[in-house]
Amino acid sequence: MVFAYQWAVGSVFLMTFAFFLFLLWVWLIIRIGIAVFSNRNMGGGTKALWIACLILFPIVSVIAYLCVHGSGAVGGTMGGLVPSDAAIQRQIRAAH
Protein backbone atom coordinates (compact mmCIF):
# COMPACT_ATOMS: atom_id res chain seq x y z
CA MET A 1 0.00 0.00 0.00
CA VAL A 2 1.31 3.45 -0.92
CA PHE A 3 0.98 6.16 1.68
CA ALA A 4 1.29 9.90 1.20
CA TYR A 5 4.44 10.15 3.29
CA GLN A 6 6.22 7.73 0.95
CA TRP A 7 5.96 10.13 -1.99
CA ALA A 8 8.70 12.73 -2.28
CA VAL A 9 8.15 16.07 -3.97
CA GLY A 10 10.23 14.97 -6.94
CA SER A 11 8.13 11.83 -7.40
CA VAL A 12 4.93 13.85 -7.46
CA PHE A 13 6.46 16.25 -9.96
CA LEU A 14 7.65 13.43 -12.22
CA MET A 15 4.27 11.67 -12.11
CA THR A 16 2.50 14.93 -12.95
CA PHE A 17 4.94 15.58 -15.79
CA ALA A 18 4.53 12.03 -17.14
CA PHE A 19 0.73 12.37 -17.02
CA PHE A 20 0.94 15.68 -18.88
CA LEU A 21 3.15 14.11 -21.57
CA PHE A 22 0.71 11.21 -21.89
CA LEU A 23 -2.21 13.62 -22.40
CA LEU A 24 -0.14 15.54 -24.95
CA TRP A 25 0.62 12.31 -26.81
CA VAL A 26 -3.05 11.28 -26.89
CA TRP A 27 -4.02 14.76 -28.12
CA LEU A 28 -1.40 14.57 -30.89
CA ILE A 29 -2.62 11.18 -32.09
CA ILE A 30 -6.26 12.34 -32.08
CA ARG A 31 -5.33 15.56 -33.89
CA ILE A 32 -3.41 13.68 -36.58
CA GLY A 33 -6.37 11.31 -36.99
CA ILE A 34 -8.65 14.32 -37.50
CA ALA A 35 -6.17 15.83 -39.97
CA VAL A 36 -6.05 12.57 -41.93
CA PHE A 37 -9.82 12.31 -42.20
CA SER A 38 -10.27 15.98 -43.11
CA ASN A 39 -7.61 15.92 -45.85
CA ARG A 40 -9.41 16.01 -49.19
CA ASN A 41 -6.27 15.23 -51.21
CA MET A 42 -5.96 11.69 -49.80
CA GLY A 43 -7.90 8.73 -51.07
CA GLY A 44 -9.74 6.30 -48.84
CA GLY A 45 -7.00 3.67 -48.99
CA THR A 46 -4.33 6.17 -47.99
CA LYS A 47 -6.45 7.38 -45.08
CA ALA A 48 -7.01 3.80 -43.92
CA LEU A 49 -3.28 3.10 -44.18
CA TRP A 50 -2.40 6.18 -42.08
CA ILE A 51 -4.96 5.25 -39.42
CA ALA A 52 -3.75 1.63 -39.34
CA CYS A 53 -0.17 2.86 -38.95
CA LEU A 54 -1.26 5.22 -36.15
CA ILE A 55 -2.77 2.27 -34.30
CA LEU A 56 -0.01 -0.28 -34.97
CA PHE A 57 3.11 1.93 -34.94
CA PRO A 58 2.16 5.16 -33.18
CA ILE A 59 5.59 6.69 -32.60
CA VAL A 60 6.92 6.01 -36.10
CA SER A 61 3.71 7.05 -37.84
CA VAL A 62 3.40 10.33 -35.89
CA ILE A 63 6.97 11.28 -36.77
CA ALA A 64 6.46 10.22 -40.40
CA TYR A 65 3.18 12.14 -40.71
CA LEU A 66 4.71 15.31 -39.28
CA CYS A 67 7.70 14.97 -41.62
CA VAL A 68 5.61 14.24 -44.71
CA HIS A 69 2.93 16.88 -44.20
CA GLY A 70 5.13 19.54 -42.64
CA SER A 71 4.08 22.38 -40.40
CA GLY A 72 0.50 22.49 -41.71
CA ALA A 73 -0.20 18.93 -40.59
CA VAL A 74 -1.98 19.80 -37.37
CA GLY A 75 -2.28 23.53 -37.84
CA GLY A 76 -5.86 23.83 -36.74
CA THR A 77 -9.11 24.90 -38.32
CA MET A 78 -8.53 28.66 -38.40
CA GLY A 79 -8.00 28.56 -42.15
CA GLY A 80 -11.66 27.74 -42.63
CA LEU A 81 -12.71 30.81 -40.66
CA VAL A 82 -10.95 33.36 -42.87
CA PRO A 83 -13.76 33.66 -45.47
CA SER A 84 -16.34 34.30 -42.77
CA ASP A 85 -14.12 37.04 -41.34
CA ALA A 86 -13.93 38.65 -44.77
CA ALA A 87 -17.71 38.43 -45.04
CA ILE A 88 -18.07 40.22 -41.72
CA GLN A 89 -15.70 42.95 -42.93
CA ARG A 90 -17.81 43.39 -46.08
CA GLN A 91 -20.97 43.72 -43.97
CA ILE A 92 -19.31 46.32 -41.74
CA ARG A 93 -18.20 48.35 -44.78
CA ALA A 94 -21.64 48.05 -46.36
CA ALA A 95 -23.30 49.35 -43.20
CA HIS A 96 -21.35 52.61 -43.30
* CB-based burial, 33-68: b 16+ in 10 Å, e otherwise: bebbeeeeeeeeeeeeebeebbeeeeeebbeebeee
* Predicted local distance difference test score (pLDDT) of residue 81: 54
* Predicted local distance difference test score (pLDDT) of residue 76: 57
Neighbours of 14 (CB within 10 A): 11
Predicted confidence (pLDDT) per residue in 52-89, tens digit: 999 999 899 988 988 888 666 655 555 555 557 777 88
**Structure-model confidence comparison of residues 48 and 78, the more confident one:** 48
CA-based angle 65:42:71, to the nearest 5?
Answer: 35
Do 45 and 53 touch, CB atoms closer than 8 A?
no
Q: What is the mean pLDDT of residues 1-6?
A: 64
Q: How far apart are CA 69 and CA 64, in angstroms?
A: 8
From 55, 79, 80, 50, select the one nearest 65 (Cα to Cα).
Answer: 50
